[in-house]
């Protein structure tokens, strides 16, 4: 069997900072579903900023969020987001707190009057939670669900009510490993939870009235949520909106009605720089397809493993797989082998079991190749 000892890991590195003693960082092959892997160059630059931002003798964590340094960071983050996605006029980029789960209720709170209808698709745990929260604010019609097959596929044929204020979809289902590879044709504006495949592929923003995404998959550390909202979606509800939950206040105050999450926004800005330098969303998509194809080909070829979702709906971000039934007792042994060789975060969610390899933007293909080699060697040894 091939040996991939962590001490030979190509991501083993040492950094030294002016205000700290020398320390060692061992970066393993990180397949975690989130908080997820970030580009090594981003981590290095962010680490410097924590110690001494731009030679100021102050940590980024100590700077005023109203000062010119952070204002420049926020301005660049907004500009990069608009450029990379290709947002037209009329869309606003907001940097909020509370995670994507807060958006489950903040979206209908801002967009849906009592008595009005919104359409939702139920494609996984997070979509189901969004449905539950939205029911407190209006008439929620679940137009499609794959719950009866344990969310192992994306519903394909369903009707969207003509009176729907919006259609809510989840683009990628982290737990189950399914992904919308084509967004539905909708007579209503689409509201999309893009948390786990945000910035992994190009898309036309035109059909979307609102997009939200927790940063901790492809963009930055946990602690900030990006909301992209089209201006004409707002100002139609009759209820009173508390300032902290009103998107219009966040727009008016440039995401700074209260103290924003400074460090997560800074790291997100660095990641946006990295995405642009790496070739933008088309390059992210090419890399995602290449990594996913390498792993899925091995899952389909290897006699020990099988995928858990319909092939046409397989996620490019979260590959879920299990042992074939007769080999199920070997799952713990294989997981231990992976961990011993520096592959971390591969244990599947309890709803699916088995394994989950998250292949976010910063995951190098070489790490996927290590996993594939271990799968082959493990099969050959049995």
Residues marked active site are found at 126, 193, 217
Those residues with Cβ within 8 angstroms of residue 183's Cβ, 6 or more apart along the chain or in another chain: 169, 171, 190, 192, 203, 207
Q: What is the CA radius of gyration of the chain?
A: 22
Outline where DSSP puts E strands in 218-315: 225-230, 305-307
Residues 6+ apart with CB under 8 A from 24: 12, 14
For 200, the token pair is 């992994």
As a whole number of angstroms, the longest Cα–Cα distance in the chain is 66
The span from the CA of 361 to the CA of 337, in Å, is 25
Q: Count Cβ neighbours within 10 Å for each residue of 63-88 and write b for 16 or more, e otherwise.
A: bebeeebbeebbeebbebbbebbebe
Integer Cα distance of 111 and 216 in angstroms: 25
């Amino acid at each position: 069997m091939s040996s991939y000892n962590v001490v030979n890991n190509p991501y083993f590195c040492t950094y030294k900072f002016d205000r700290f003693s020398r320390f060692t960082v061992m970066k393993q092959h990180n397949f975690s579903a989130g908080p997820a892997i970030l580009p090594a160059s981003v981590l290095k630059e962010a680490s410097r900023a924590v110690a001494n931002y731009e030679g100021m003798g102050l940590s980024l964590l100590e700077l005023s969020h109203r000062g010119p340094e952070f204002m420049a960071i926020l301005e660049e983050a907004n500009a990069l987001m608009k450029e990379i996605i290709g947002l037209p006029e009329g869309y606003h980029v907001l940097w909020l707190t509370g995670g994507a789960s807060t958006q489950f209720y903040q979206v209908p709170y801002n967009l849906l009057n009592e008595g009005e209808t919104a359409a939702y698709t139920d494609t996984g745990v997070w979509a189901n939670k969004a449905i539950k929260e939205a029911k407190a604010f209006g008439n929620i019609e679940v137009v499609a669900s794959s719950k009866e097959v344990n969310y192992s596929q994306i519903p394909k044929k369903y009707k969207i009510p003509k009176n729907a204020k919006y259609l809510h979809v989840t683009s990628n289902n982290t737990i189950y490993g399914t992904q919308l590879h084509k967004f539905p044709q909708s007579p209503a504006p689409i509201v999309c939870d893009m948390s786990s495949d945000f910035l992994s592929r190009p898309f036309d923003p035109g059909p979307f009235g609102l997009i939200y995404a927790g940063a901790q998959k492809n963009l930055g550390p946990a602690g900030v949520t990006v909301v992209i909202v089209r201006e004409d979606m707002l100002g139609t509800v009759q209820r009173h909106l508390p300032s902290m939950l009103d998107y219009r206040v966040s727009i008016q105050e440039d995401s700074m009605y209260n103290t924003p999450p400074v460090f997560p926004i800074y790291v997100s800005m660095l990641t946006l720089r990295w995405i642009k330098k790496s070739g933008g969303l088309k390059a992210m998509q090419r890399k995602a397809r290449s990594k996913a194809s390498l792993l899925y080909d091995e899952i389909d070829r290897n006699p020990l493993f099988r995928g858990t979702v319909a092939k046409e709906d397989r996620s490019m971000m979260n590959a879920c797989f299990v042992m074939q039934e007769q080999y199920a007792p070997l799952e713990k042994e294989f997981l231990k082998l992976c961990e011993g060789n520096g592959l971390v975060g591969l244990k599947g969610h309890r709803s699916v079991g088995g394994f989950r390899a998250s292949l976010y933007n910063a995951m190098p293909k070489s790490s996927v190749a290590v996993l594939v080699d271990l799968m082959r060697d493990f099969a050959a040894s049995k």
